[in-house]
Amino acid sequence: MTPPAPRRESALARRMTVKDLATARRDRRPITMVTAYDWPTGRLADEAGVDCVLVGDSVAMVVAGRDSTIPATLDQMIYHGEIVCRAVKRAFVVVDLPFPLQHLGVRTAIESCARLLKETGCQAVKLEGTAGQADVIAGLVGAGIPVMGHVGLRPQAVHQLGGYRMQRDGEQLMADALAAAEAGACAVVLECIPREAAAAITAAIGVPTIGIGAGPDCDGQVLVMHDLVGLSADRVPRFVRPYADVKTTIGAAVARWRHDVERRDFPGPAETLG
């Protein structure tokens, strides 16, 4: 196998673009994308050198504690997107189009995505869909709006799919990914699909694939920030590798502070003004 090309320093010094994503795929350099919903995590992700920051509609679950992404609204995505875009200087920022705006026709999709672009400052929008949404992707791309597709497990369709489960219909997955790419998507997220299906799609479509629970053969990988750092309230999926235990760190810090206040050890002389 050809060794991956080294990371180009110039790509670190300026804003990532759709062209850089295509170049990364061509050079077989893995693309990294992580979610962020606020200023501190957007800034930390950017400083950590990721290629893309995704303001996902997963905000409804990991930040707002809802049991699906369906309740996320356009105004909420704009609120979080604008904050993250101010924090992120270098990475390519993508904001999710929330349910059901990609199903209400090309005009509604363009109006909604134009608001995302104008009011947040993001570089692209992501929308979940099957081949049935190809005309919407084509309409958005025709309007000059970069689009990232999202196929496989589509969390906005969780009730139709019967839960958060692996999607195994290889022919359907290939048709959905090809339709998104042919409609002009700049990349396609593949969520929770078998490794073989992700590898076949990655070989077949002309744009980068970014996997989550789709194995190692995609052009890039994406994770939800709260899963990656160990801050998620619920059990994380098996495809996540937790790189920190922030939940324990925060819980222990707050418990220590409460203990110190209760025994009148805080504030001490160092923390007392005047």
Residues that bind ligand KIV (CB under 6 A): 35, 54, 56-58, 69, 96, 150, 189, 212, 222, 224
- Buried (b) or exposed (e) across 195-223, using 16+ Cβ within 10 A? eebbbbbbeebebbbbbbbbbebbbbbbb
Q: Which residues share a beta bridge with 190?
A: 151, 211
Q: Which residues share a beta bridge with 223?
A: 34
Q: In this structure, are strands 209-212 and 147-152 parallel, antiparallel, or unpaired?
A: unpaired
Shortest distance, CB of residue 188 to ligand KIV, whole angstroms?
11
Residue with tokens 């349910």: 99
Q: Which is nearer to ligand KIV, 35 or 123 (CB)?
A: 35
Shortest distance, CB of residue 55 to ligand KIV, whole angstroms?
8
Residue with tokens 């009011």: 119
Q: Which is nearer to ligand KIV, 75 or 260 (CB)?
A: 75
Shortest distance, CB of residue 273 to ligand KIV, whole angstroms?
42
Q: Residue 21 has which token pair?
A: 């994503």
The Cα–Cα gap between 183 and 178 comes to 8
Q: Which is nearer to ligand KIV, 208 or 270 (CB)?
A: 208
CA quadruple 67, 73, 79, 83: dihedral sign: positive
Q: Which is nearer to ligand KIV, 64 or 255 (CB)?
A: 64
Shortest distance, CB of residue 191 to ligand KIV, whole angstroms?
6
Residues marked active site are found at 191
